[in-house]
Amino acid sequence: MNTHRRLVNPRPRLARSLAALLLGMVAWLSLPGTTGIAVAQSQSQPAREAPTPAASLLPTQAERERFHALAEELRCLVCQNQTLADSDAALAADLRREVEELMLAGRSDDEIKAYLVQRYGDFVLYRPPLQRNTWLLWLGPFVLLLVGATVWWRVQRAHRAGLRPADAGAGASVPAASASGGPGTAAARGGARTPEPQPASDADLERARRLLD
Amino acid sequence: MKALRFILPAVVFAVIAWFLLAGLDRNPRDIPSPLIGKPAPDFSLPVTHDLARTWSPQALRGKVWLLNVWGSWCSACQVEHPVLNDLARSGEIPIVGLAWKDMPENSIAWLRRLGNPYSVVVSDVQGRVGIDYGVYGAPETFLIDGAGIIRYKHVGPVTPELLQQKLLPLARELAAS
């Protein structure tokens, strides 16, 4: 009979609506490029003039590893769903070279990131910083989790609290609905006496809806 | 409470539909530039038509001007080129060309073929200055004021509409102040 309960209690519905709303807004606020909408390209990209400058400027393995870790954190501006490390675009190659040179100049990872953010904005960071326009992006999932947990907890509580006293009420209301008849009526009446609640069928849900209206 | 059961989903639907619908018009390639309102990065680059000379934005201090990033390899630049030619003929605002990741001889051949709307063209063969300006494709156009501050950035070809409705009114406003 938990189906009845869920329909009677409007608050989980409210919470679910809120959750859906939040989800939409989080998607909206997420940075450009993550929307996944293909738009005709209005710009041109330079062709690769030279073959990939495969040789890294960095002399040691440790430096190359540091470079790779850093490049994995940076987004390619052209092919927006690739990292700077993965991208084969000419601009990405230029930016990799720029990052290598900055490393050789002794700049820290944070300084290099700041250098790129200054020019290209937070968009270059695969992990945008927590700030005014990104807090919903960062906290949204946790808010949704909280909403979900609240809904679950309320449903559970309503189910536990309502099982025994509500059975009497539900049983009493069944004959009223039997005017419209249907095979579900007997089953539902039986269900009220059965110790284990049966999963609600579509017919049950439909009947419950009719009862409520 | 009964009415809420119908109104609430409808409201939620409307809100989500609005977000999704408005999202269709958002161009994910339009990356907001952090340089708007900031000083245009200074540079000194060889003049494409006279590589022995260099040119720097300091030369246009006190003037409102456009910096147009292009390249002879850039097909979208050909689309906007007639618009820039028209603008240059009107003489309303100086246009500086930044030949981005382009060999000077290619730039010159291209301008000879399609016309040269630029007051001056500088060659950024390595694309270094492009990086300083946060350029990630061509064409891109910057509006820079007399104090050397970037006031507007357009990504993609300049259209007559953009010019008449946005760039020129803003340039006039900046020139007046």
Q: Which residue is closest to A24 within chain B, CA to CA? A: B16
Provide the Cα torsion B118, B119, B125, B127; round to 10°. -80
pLDDT in tens, A134-154: 888 899 999 999 999 999 999
Q: What confidence tier does B60 reach under pLDDT thresholds 50, 70, 90?
A: very high
Q: Do B23 and A37 touch (CB under 8 A)?
A: yes
Q: Quick one: pLDDT at residue A130?
A: 87
Q: Which residue is closest to A115 within chain B, CA to CA? A: B132
Report, as an integer, the average pLDDT of A101-115: 94
Pairwise CA distance, residues A166 & A158, whole Å: 10
CA angle A161, A163, A164 (to 5 degrees): 100
B143 neighbors B158 (Cβ within 8 angstroms)? no
Q: Do A212 and B2 touch (CB under 8 A)?
A: yes
Q: Do B157 and A33 touch (CB under 8 A)?
A: no
Q: Quick one: pLDDT at residue B32?
A: 81
Q: What confidence tier does A30 reach under pLDDT thresholds 50, 70, 90?
A: low
Provide the Cα torsion B99, B102, B108, B113; round to 10°. -90
Give residues 12 to 51 of A whose Cβ lies within 8 Å of B: 13-14, 17, 20-21, 24-25, 27-28, 32-37, 39, 41-47, 49
Greater confidence (B121 vs A192) lies with B121
Pairwise CA distance, residues A37 & B139, whole Å: 22
Alpha carbon of B125: minimum distance to chain A alpha carbons (Å): 11
Q: Do B73 and A44 touch (CB under 8 A)?
A: yes
Picking from B142, B146, B165, the residue whose alpha carbon sits closest to that of residue B66 is: B142
Q: Quick one: pLDDT at residue A6?
A: 46
Whether residue A114 lies within 8 A of chain B, CB to CB, comes out as no
DSSP class of residue B147?
T
CA angle B129, B171, B145 (to 5 degrees): 45
A37 neighbors A129 (Cβ within 8 angstroms)? no
Q: What confidence tier does A185 reach under pLDDT thresholds 50, 70, 90?
A: very low
Q: Do A80 and B29 touch (CB under 8 A)?
A: yes
- Residues in A touching B28 (Cβ below 8 Å): 32-37, 39, 80
The ipTM value here is 0.82
Whether residue A73 lies within 8 A of chain B, CB to CB, comes out as no
pLDDT in tens, A192-205: 454 556 677 777 77
- Residues in B touching A98 (Cβ below 8 Å): 131
- Residues in A touching B34 (Cβ below 8 Å): 117-122
For the cut 60, the answer to whether the pLDDT of residue A3 exceeds it is no
* Beta-carbon contacts of residue A72 (< 8 Å; ≥ 6 apart): A83, A84, A85, A126
Greater confidence (B97 vs A44) lies with B97
Q: What confidence tier does B44 reach under pLDDT thresholds 50, 70, 90?
A: very high
- Residues in B touching A39 (Cβ below 8 Å): 27-29
Question: Is 1.25.40.20 the CATH classification of the domain at B35-176?
Answer: no
A184 neighbors A204 (Cβ within 8 angstroms)? yes
Q: Quick one: pLDDT at residue A12?
A: 56
For the cut 60, the answer to whether the pLDDT of residue B103 exceeds it is yes
For the cut 50, the answer to whether the pLDDT of residue B166 exceeds it is yes
Q: What confidence tier does B75 reach under pLDDT thresholds 50, 70, 90?
A: very high
Greater confidence (B65 vs A61) lies with B65
A14 neighbors A6 (Cβ within 8 angstroms)? no
* Beta-carbon contacts of residue B133 (< 8 Å; ≥ 6 apart): A119, B35, B40, B41, B67, B69, B98, B140, B142
Report, as an integer, the average pLDDT of B129-154: 94
User: For chains A and B, what is the number of CB pairs under 8 angstroms?
Assistant: 125
Pairwise CA distance, residues B71 & B77, whole Å: 7
Picking from A156, A211, A155, the residue whose alpha carbon sits closest to that of residue A182 is: A211
Cα Rg of chain A (Å, integer): 29
Q: According to DSSP H, which parts of chain A are helical?
A: 2-8, 10-29, 61-72, 90-104, 109-120, 135-177, 184-193, 202-212
Nearest to B131 among A17, A32, A119 (CB): A119
DSSP class of residue B139?
-
Report, as an integer, the average pLDDT of B69-86: 95
Q: What is the largest CA-CA distance in chain B?
A: 81
Most confidently predicted of A37-46, A76-85, A169-178, B93-102: B93-102
Single-letter residue type at A45: Q
B101 neighbors A49 (Cβ within 8 angstroms)? yes
Q: Do A28 and B23 touch (CB under 8 A)?
A: yes
Q: What confidence tier does A79 reach under pLDDT thresholds 50, 70, 90?
A: confident
Respond yes or no on whether the N-terminal peptide bond of residue B139 is cis (omega within 30° of 0): yes
Report, as an integer, the average pLDDT of A104-130: 91
pLDDT in tens, B19-42: 999 888 887 777 888 999 999 999
Question: pTM (2 decimals)?
Answer: 0.69
* Least confident span in A38-42, A127-131, B171-175: A38-42
Q: Do B9 and A77 touch (CB under 8 A)?
A: no
A47 neighbors A162 (Cβ within 8 angstroms)? no
Report, as an integer, the average pLDDT of B146-167: 94
